[in-house]
Structure 1
Amino acid sequence: MLKTWQRCTSCCLGNKHKGDFMHIYAIGDLHLSGEPPTKPMEIFGEHWRGHKEKIRQHWLETVKADDTVIICGDISWAMSLEEAAQDLDWLAQLPGRKLLLRGNHDYWWTSLAKMQKRFGEHFEFLQNGCIMVDNIAVCGTRGWLLPSAEAFSAEDEKIYRREAIRLELSLQAAAKQKPAAIIAAFHYPPLFARTEHTAFTNLLHNYGVQHCLYGHLHGENHISAFEGLREGIRYKLVSCDTQGFQLYKII
Structure 2
Amino acid sequence: MNIFAIGDLHLSFANPKPMDIFGGNWTDHPEKIRQHWEAMVSPDDLVLIPGDISWAMSLDEARLDLDFIAALPGRKLMIRGNHDYWWSTVSKVRKALDPSIQVLQNDSITIGDITFAATRGWDCPGSYSFDEHDRQVYEREIGRLKLSLDHAMKSGAKRLWVMLHYPPTNEKHQETGFLDVLRQYPVEKVVYGHLHGADGHKGAFAGVHDGIEYHLVACDYLDFAPLKLT
What interval of TM-score do these two structures reach, taking the shorter chain for normalisation? over 0.9
Contact 2:161 2:188 in 1 (8 A): yes
Residues 231 and 109 (structure 1), Cα distance of their counterparts in 2 relative to 1, 3 Å cut: same
3-state SS of 2:117 partner: strand
Query: Partner letter of residue 185 of structure 2?
Result: Y
Q: Equivalent of 1:218, from 184, 193, 196?
A: 196
Q: How many Å separate the matches in 2 of 1:98 and 1:73?
A: 12
Structure 1 unaligned residues grouped into runs of 5+ = 1-21
Aligned to 1:118: 96
**How much does 1:193 deviate?**
5.6
Q: Equivalent of 2:177, from 190, 199, 208?
A: 199
Q: How many Å separate the matches in 1 of 2:119 and 2:16?
A: 28
Query: Partner letter of residue 92 of structure 1?
Result: A
Aligned to 1:6: none
**How much does 1:195 deviate?**
5.3
Aligned to 2:217: 238
Once the two structures are superposed, residues 52-86 of structure 1 have per-residue CA deviations (whole angstroms, 9 ceiling, x without a partner) of: 11111111111111111110111100000000001
Once the two structures are superposed, residues 151-194 of structure 1 have per-residue CA deviations (whole angstroms, 9 ceiling, x without a partner) of: 32232111011111111111011112333321111111001467
Contact 2:74 2:100 in 1 (8 A): no
Aligned to 2:130: 152
**How much does 1:225 deviate?**
2.3
Q: Equivalent of 2:4, from 25, 45, 68?
A: 25
Which 10-residue stretch deviates more, 141-150 or 174-183? Answer: 174-183
**How much does 1:248 deviate?**
0.9
Residues 120 and 166 (structure 1), Cα distance of their counterparts in 2 relative to 1, 3 Å cut: farther
3-state SS of 2:221 partner: helix
**How much does 1:120 deviate?**
5.3
Determine if the alignment matches structure 1 residue 79 to structure 2 residue 53.
no
TM-score, normalised relative to structure 1:
0.87
Aligned to 2:111: 133
Query: Partner letter of residue 69 of structure 1?
Result: V
TM-score, normalised relative to structure 2:
0.95
Equivalent residues in 2 for 1:144-183 (5 A)? Answer: 144-183=122-161
Q: Give RMSD over aligned pairs.
A: 1.5
**How much does 1:42 deviate?**
1.1
Aligned residues: 229
Contact 1:139 1:183 in 2 (8 A): yes
Q: Equivalent of 1:94, from 67, 72, 75?
A: 72
